[in-house]
Amino acid sequence: MTDTPQLYLITPPAFEADLFADRLARVLDSHQIACLRLTLASSDETEVARAADTLRDLAHARDVPLVITAHLHLVEKLGLDGVHLTDGARSVRKTRTALGADPIIGAACGASSHDGMSAGEAGADYIAFGPVGDSALGDGTRAADDLFSWWSEMIELPVVAEGALTADRVTALAPVTDFFAIGEEIWREDDASAALARLTAPLR
């Protein structure tokens, strides 16, 4: 793998749509972003739809596809570009049948190469592994660097590295991943665009 990995943005789990839109626009206008993922913790469909409408217009104006975490039934309804599934390979085939051939389907597979391969065979367009850095969240499982090395050598399906990213982790994984998915690493900073520049400096 010789191409420079692309950047994939993940929204915070909660935000005020109008306020966040301004922050997001600054990031999209100062960095080349390949994809945006809406990942709201809210279970209020109206709130999710309002956020999706705001972000879709921003993203599409810049030719950035918008995918949504888990809510596959909102993809067509809200004019989104796809869905990011969080249950490994389990619902990929059903989702592909429901959405058809065109929408993007991504599958988060933790640290399991088996889940990743199964998701790919079921119709996923990309596989996400993570977290790739140390985190107190979850069960402590970390997607090891050699998983990405093996995947990049053996599997053609694009792979995404995400979770607990640092500049050192970006340096280590850049040769063996297609995308870095970045969210809280930058949104917790006042200047998200500058934070993204620092985090991805090893790619330049």
Residue among 160, 173, 166, 172 at smallest CA distance from 198: 166
| Residue partners of 127: CB distance under 8 A and separation at least 6 | 106, 107, 109, 116, 119, 120, 151, 157, 158, 159, 160
pLDDT over threshold 50, residue 1:
no
Which residue segments constitute the domains of the chain, with CATH numbers given? Answer: 6-203 (3.20.20.70)
pLDDT of residue 136: 74
Average confidence (pLDDT) over 38-48: 95
In tens, the pLDDT along 13-25 reads 999 998 999 999 9
pLDDT tens-place string over residues 51-67: 999 999 999 999 999 99
Please compute the mean of the pLDDT values over residues 15-43 and round it to a whole number: 96
The predicted pLDDT at position 29 comes to 98
Confidence of residue 135 (pLDDT cuts 50, 70, 90): confident
- Alpha-carbon distance 45 to 168, whole Å? 38
CB atoms closer than 10 angstroms to residue 204: 6
